[in-house]
Amino acid sequence: MTKTLVWFYYTIKRKVKPRQYGNNNMSSFKRFLNFILELFYPKFCLGCGKEGTWICSDCFEKIKALDSFYCPVCRKRLPNGEICKTCSGKTKLSKFFAAARYESPLIKKAVHKLKYNFIKDLAPPLSSLIINFLKNFNFDSDFLIIPVPLHKSREHWRGFNQANELAKEISKSLRVPLDSNELTKIKNVPPQVEVKDYQKRKENIQGAFRVKRPELLRNKRVILIDDVYTSGSTMEECAKVLKRAGVKEIWGVAAIAKF
């Protein structure tokens, strides 16, 4: 029941355009939807259960956020960001950062709620953990933010792409342009979470992505955003396609990762 209400709320919020009701009426309509949602599905902190927000300020401050780049292959901490010499030939990523470890119970729960309970309100706090690290860098005009895409059918089922929700927040905060269109998923493969074997994960995702217009990404530097990094197969496949399109540098970034 609650999942249905959340799905209904975000579907209506996404589908209804301001011109259909006028800006004032639209705001009233969205306030009404918020009221209905919170009446049947009130927000409780995923950490302590306090009512009113999904992650309260006290619990947010207790999150052990990571503060360094890591090797996407051997997962070694890399203070200077450079990929290990022994691993550089095994990845298309130039740098890799994750905001928190997969074992972090609060962040893991938040990512799960974002993806499977359709709670888009969790994108801002999750993305803020990424922003707190990336804001320490200067990004030139040749940088783009690109989310790992979902297949159209999967995105339609969920109502949104969770990686894109994170990417939008990061783009807005860092003032780095967002491109959610050029990298697309063309194969509707089984979700990686359902494939346990590492080699089978690589095979499952192989050939699943393509770049629509490579000329638009040539010589760009990309911050590639995803919600979860486990085996790395999905992000590596995306990076391979982006490199083939002429992208000169790729930073892999995730909300949580297994180390």
Q: pLDDT (tens digit, 9 = 90+) per residue, 9-67?
A: 555 555 444 444 444 555 566 566 656 666 677 889 999 999 999 999 999 999 999 99
Residue 259: pLDDT band (50, 70, 90) is confident
Q: Are residues 120 and 211 in the same domain?
A: yes
Residues 231-258 have a mean pLDDT of: 96
CB distance 184 to 210 below 8 Å: yes
Residue 35, in any domain of the structure: yes
Look at residues 202, 197, 183 and name the one whose alpha carbon lies nearest to residue 241.
Answer: 183
79 and 173 within one domain: yes
β-pair type (221-229, 249-257): parallel
Claim to verify: residue 146 and residue 97 sit in the same structural domain: yes
- Residue 7 buriedness (CB in 10 A; 0-12 / 13-18 / 19+): middle
In the chain, how many domains are there?
A: 2
Task: Give a three-class secondary structure readout of the chain.
Answer: CHHHHHHHHHHHHHHCCHHHHCHHHHHHHHHHHHHHHHHHCCCECCCCCCECCCCCHHHHHHCCCCCCEECCCCCCEECCCCCCCCCHHHCCCCEEEEEEECCCHHHHHHHHHHHHCCCHHHHHHHHHHHHHHHCCCCCCCCEEEEECCCCHHHHHHHCCCHHHHHHHHHHHHHCCCECCCCEEECCCCCCHHHCCCHHHHHHHHCCCEEECCHHHCCCCEEEEEEEEECCCHHHHHHHHHHHHCCCCEEEEEEEEECC
Are 1 and 113 in a shared domain?
no
- Alpha-carbon span 160 to 120, nearest angstrom: 9
Question: Across residues 171-199, what is the average pLDDT?
Answer: 88
The reply to whether 52 falls in a domain is no
Instruction: Place 146 in a pLDDT band, splitting at 50, 70 and 90.
Output: very high
What's the whole-number average pLDDT of the chain?
Answer: 87
Say if residue 35 is in the same domain as residue 77.
no
pLDDT per residue over 95-128, tens digit each? 999 999 999 999 999 999 999 888 999 999 999 9
Task: Give me the CATH number covering residue 243.
Answer: 3.40.50.2020
* pLDDT value of residue 202: 78
- Give the domain extent around 24: 1-42
What is residue 99's predicted lDDT score, i.e. its pLDDT?
Answer: 96
Q: Is the pLDDT of residue 193 over 60?
A: yes
Same domain membership, residue 207 and residue 88: yes
At 225, list the tokens. Answer: 């955003």
User: Does the residue 51 lie in any domain?
Assistant: no
From 153, 156, 152, 158, select the one nearest 181 (Cα to Cα): 152
Comparing 210 with 205, which gets the higher pLDDT?
Answer: 210
Same domain, 156 and 239: yes
pLDDT above 80 (res 91):
yes
What the block records as the tokens of 193 is 């979470």
Distance CA 257, CA 100 (A): 7
Contacts of 99 (CB under 8 A, 6+ apart): 65, 66, 107, 126, 129, 130, 133, 254, 255, 256
Question: Which pLDDT does position 191 carry in this prediction?
Answer: 73
Choose between 27 and 173: higher pLDDT: 173
Report, as an integer, the average pLDDT of 208-234: 96
Instruction: Tell me how far apart the terminal alpha carbons of the chain are, to the nearest angstrom.
Output: 36
Question: Do 68 and 36 share a structural domain?
Answer: no
Q: State residue 199's pLDDT score.
A: 79
What CA–CA distance (Å, rounded) separates 27 from 16?
A: 11
Residue 185 token pair? 């998923």
The reply to whether 124 falls in a domain is yes
